[in-house]
Amino acid sequence: MKQTVIVALALSTLLGACQYKSVNAPALSERDAEYIALVPKFEHHITQLPYEITDPTGLPPGSIKVDTVEKYLYFVLPNKKAIRYAVATGDEAFGWTGEAMMQRKAEWPRWTPPAEMIKRWPHLAPRAGGMEGGPENPLGARALYLYQNGKDTLYRIHGTNEPETIGRSASSGCIRMRNIDVIDLFNRVQVGTKVIVV
């Protein structure tokens, strides 16, 4: 009994030292709940859940930093805190880094594959005219559109219909998140948010 108490106290101290605090899932609209339920079940078994941590970025509150090596997105909070989300990033051939500004937000966005993507993957040609938002749409529940010098980069931070890719290099340069996580981020960010991808 005494050993159990000692182990429990040690674990409590260790977890407290990590300064991780889980983030509550956002409230979902009826449409969100209905659509997310249709995304593959893997979405609900990802272990890299969002946590509030001590800010590792040094950026001002309201900023976003994406670490393409560690596969984390950080949303900076006041008081030297940040929320860390697991993401998928561009694969080696299509990775993107740089500084941008988020200038548009969309719920269950329409997706139109860029011409370069259709050239690489001709099977996407039927989608050249665009695809309405929904559970089969590659942009998932939300999209944050990244611009440089007022010009659309064509890169997005968005949800996904392939949640099994989270934690991997899998996209064509966009930053993918679990749908529940991108909804949470969407609710927190403002148009004009600075985004750094390293």
Would you please indicate which residues are annotated as catalytic (active-site) residues?
158, 174
Number of residues that make up the chain:
198
Residue 36: CB atoms within 10 A of its CB come to: 20
Which amino acid does the sequence have at 123?
A: H
Q: Are 130 and 110 in contact (CB under 8 A)?
A: yes
**What's the token pair of residue 86?**
């697991």
φ and ψ of 126, to 5 deg: -60, -15
Write out the DSSP string of 61-127. Answer: TT-EEEETTTTEEEEEETTTEEEEEEEEEE-TTT---EEEEEEEEEES--B---HHHHHH-GGGGGG
**What's the token pair of residue 153?**
């980069």
Alpha carbon of residue 3 to chain centroid: 41
